[in-house]
Amino acid sequence: MPSNKSVSDAPIFQFTNCRILRSHQLQREDLWVREGKILNPEKLFFDEKGSADIQLDCKDSVIAPGFIDVQINGGFGVDFSLAVDDVQSGISLVSQKILSHGVTSFCPTLVTSPPSVYHKVLPQISIRNGGPHGAGILGAHLEGPFISKEKKGAHPEHYLSTFESGAFQDLLATYRHLDCVRIVTLAPEMKRSSEVIQELTRRGICVSLGHSVANLSQAEEAVRHGATFITHLFNAMLPFHHRDPGIVGLLTSDQIPARRRVFYGMISDGIHTNPAALRIAHRAHPKGLVLVTDAIAGMGLAPGKHTLGQQVIEVDGLNTYIAGTKTLSGSVATMDSCVRHFLEATGCTVETALEAASLHPAQLLGIEHRKGTLNYDNDADFLLLDDSLQVRATYIAGERVWSQDTFTI
Ligand SMILES: [Zn+2]
């Protein structure tokens, strides 16, 4: 039966022999795609009297939404925090290479840098759709410089900044360009941070709490003002204390405004967080968990010395330290390996592990009506995976943009 061309001339693809992640469950259904979007087959059959033009046997793959990485500092030798003349070529290289790890869109992340770096780099970052050229760019994540000295982690102390009389104007003077900015990580205990959080939120920029010594009530106040995310939970914040659990306490706080959800990033690489801590976070607040790589330039390269903004980093296996210290600084983990580690460490379901890298980051950014699910009419950004969650093939807007050499359909 030929497909009905009254609605569209575009070919209709039917991915068969697969289990697709939909409504929080892996379901033995086919995935239908037309014009880069997920198609509702019932509408196709009954309204359009149409059918598939091309059928593809997925060889019993799991099909999941493409992964979304909201914190990635670089990879494959590229450091997004360097003020180079051609930022685009570095971003393009990373966006190409992460396709093999299942990432179909991401937020290039800049660590604390002098204002001159933001002024040079930010105008060169543009939000763009993904495709064969690489993963889509959802906007920049600026981590610092408005963070705590005590919890600076790998961020260079002499570039840290505070909000003075200008408050939001101080932030604007530092970054100068906000058009491409999607997330700002700041320490909510800084004076005048409430005004800044409100203004960023008003502009649709997600505020994340991190690199901070905030107590729980300061963190709750920041959430009331609009903050929705916690940057790499447990790392670079006060450790959980039962009388004042600090930012970590947001996971079970009863002071979160109604219908609001606080999300939290986890670097699930087996290094940054003990598996027991990962389980505590996940069991306390499963729907808020967002897997991030926090990957640095050394991701995808041999161990050795790499940069992270103004710092030199030594990579040894999965450990990444500021040279000459034991201060952890980003990771060299890939997103697919974080998903597998999360699954193994928490004993969660495959669905839960996949949603932590797709649905949850999409909800955090408020783009779940376009990405992060396989719901009808969403962008057809998806992955074919084997049962151990190794990526077999990556699709963006219905087009195959990467596949294993040995996997053909
Ligand atoms: Zn950090």
Q: Provide the residue ranges of all domains of the chain, joining segments of one domain with +.
A: 12-65+372-403, 67-364
CA 359 to chain centre: 10
pLDDT at residue 302 in the model:
86
pLDDT level of residue 93 (50, 70, 90 thresholds): very high
Residue with tokens 């509702």: 40
Q: Is 199 marked as a binding-site residue?
A: no
Asked if residue 363 lies in contact with residue 409, where contact means CB atoms within 8 angstroms, the answer is: no
Q: Is 317 marked as a binding-site residue?
A: no
pLDDT above 90 covers a percentage of the chain that reads: 88
User: Which run of H or E residues covers position 21?
Assistant: strand 12-22
Q: Is 17 marked as a binding-site residue?
A: no
State the distance from the centre of ligand 1 to the C-alpha of 14, rounded, in angstroms: 42
Indicate if the pLDDT at residue 4 is higher than 80. no
State the distance from the centre of ligand 1 to the C-alpha of 334, rounded, in angstroms: 16
- Choose which CATH entry (2.60.40.10, 3.20.20.140, 3.40.50.2300, 3.10.180.10) describes domain 67-364: 3.20.20.140
State the distance from the centre of ligand 1 to the C-alpha of 71, rounded, in angstroms: 9
State the distance from the centre of ligand 1 to the C-alpha of 74, rounded, in angstroms: 13
Q: Is 100 marked as a binding-site residue?
A: no
Q: Is 330 marked as a binding-site residue?
A: yes
Q: Is 236 marked as a binding-site residue?
A: yes
State the distance from the centre of ligand 1 to the C-alpha of 111, rounded, in angstroms: 7
Query: Strand locations in 128-216, DSSP E?
Result: 136-137, 140-143, 181-186, 206-209
Active site residue 294: yes
Region of 17 (left: φ > 0; alpha: ψ -120 to 50; beta: rest) is left
pLDDT at residue 7 in the model:
74
**12-65+372-403 and 67-364 share one CATH topology?**
no
**Coil/strand/helix, residue 287:** helix
d(CA 106, CA 327): 26
User: Which run of H or E residues covers position 218?
Assistant: helix 216-224
State the distance from the centre of ligand 1 to the C-alpha of 368, rounded, in angstroms: 25
State the distance from the centre of ligand 1 to the C-alpha of 80, rounded, in angstroms: 14
**Coil/strand/helix, residue 312:** strand
State the distance from the centre of ligand 1 to the C-alpha of 143, rounded, in angstroms: 7
Q: Is 328 marked as a binding-site residue?
A: yes
Q: Is 135 marked as a binding-site residue?
A: no
Asked if residue 178 lies in contact with residue 205, where contact means CB atoms within 8 angstroms, the answer is: yes
Q: Which of 294, 336, 379, 381 is catalytic?
A: 294
State the distance from the centre of ligand 1 to the C-alpha of 329, rounded, in angstroms: 7
The backbone torsions φ and ψ at residue 344, rounded to the nearest 5 degrees and listed phi first, read -70, -45
Indicate if the pLDDT at residue 121 is higher than 60. yes
pLDDT at residue 8 in the model:
81
pLDDT at residue 33 in the model:
98
- Domain 12-65+372-403 class in CATH: mainly beta
pLDDT level of residue 109 (50, 70, 90 thresholds): very high
Indicate if the pLDDT at residue 1 is higher than 50. no
- Say which residue, 306 or 335, is predicted with more confidence: 335
pLDDT level of residue 217 (50, 70, 90 thresholds): very high
Q: Is 356 marked as a binding-site residue?
A: no
pLDDT level of residue 5 (50, 70, 90 thresholds): low
